Amino acid sequence: MASMRKLKAKAFLMEIMDFLGWEINTRKFTVALPNDKHTIWRNQIKEMLTLTKAHYKELASLIGRLNHVAFIIPSARYFMNRLRKLETEAARFGLVKVSAEARKDLRLWLEFLQKANKGISINNIIFRKVTSLNLSDSCEMGIGGYGHHSGIAWRYEFTKEEQISFDINQKEYLASSINQKIQLTFNDSQFPCSKDITDNTSACAWMYKSNFDPASHPVNNEIARETAKTLMKHNC
């Protein structure tokens, strides 16, 4: 208010405005990544995917931009783990090989960027009441789940080969991911808020952060990406 120049320029009602690098639309109630940023950042990821090895400065720049996107897609921070690991190695050696798992994450980030460019509902950024409350569990023989809001229950019995292919923590993680995918199909909320309850602390932690070794847990990586796609599909 002390600057008359800014007061004359901006002291009027508006529905859409750019603020701190975001386009805020108060009519649609969304926050979006501006088109120019989306184009530049998307092209940077595509260029990174063509490289066999990446420099530290390239990785640091890209990670800074993706971290910006994670402010409106908090769950996307989950997929920064492998990229930050590459950045740490590049800081030491100057040049680092872009791993296959990191490439999969970068391709998923292209979907995150597209979602951010279209606009994220403010309903999905703030704390809200759960609209899809679910329970999931597993044992050596199989997995299953139940939806409190939907009333839908399911179970799946593992084959002999599947029983020995996953440890118990991965089975719990898989059950939680599948349960959310099933239950969200029956959720009629425009902007669902999903919560899956499990009695396995490892699986619960993996839903929010990739604190496992990405090289030794490739199955976890695939489950995480599938879960992210499910949440994006349902605007959850």
Residue-number span of the structural domain to which 141 is assigned: 129-233
d(CA 135, CA 122): 27
pLDDT in tens, 183-194: 999 998 888 999
Per-residue pLDDT at 12 exceeds 80: no
**107 and 134 part of one domain:** no
Is there a domain that residue 43 lies in?
A: yes
Contacts of 150 (CB under 8 A, 6+ apart): 132, 183, 186, 187
Q: Are residues 36 and 59 in the same domain?
A: yes
Q: Are residues 105 and 184 in the same domain?
A: no
For 205-218, the pLDDT digits (tens) are 888 777 666 667 77
Residue 115 lies in a domain: yes
Provide CB contacts within 8 A for 136, sequence distance 6+.
Answer: 143, 144, 145, 146, 172, 175, 176, 178, 179, 196, 197, 198
pTM, two decimals, is 0.78
Of 114 and 221, the structure prediction assigns the larger pLDDT to 114
Number of DSSP helices (H) and strands (E) in the chain, helices first = 9, 10
Retrieve residue 38's tokens: 């989306």
- The pLDDT, as a whole number, for residue 166 is 86
Give CA separation, 192 vs 183, 200, 236, in Å.
11, 24, 5
Same domain, 114 and 163: no
In the predicted model, what is the mean pLDDT of residues 63-78? Answer: 86
pLDDT average, residue stretch 11-40:
88
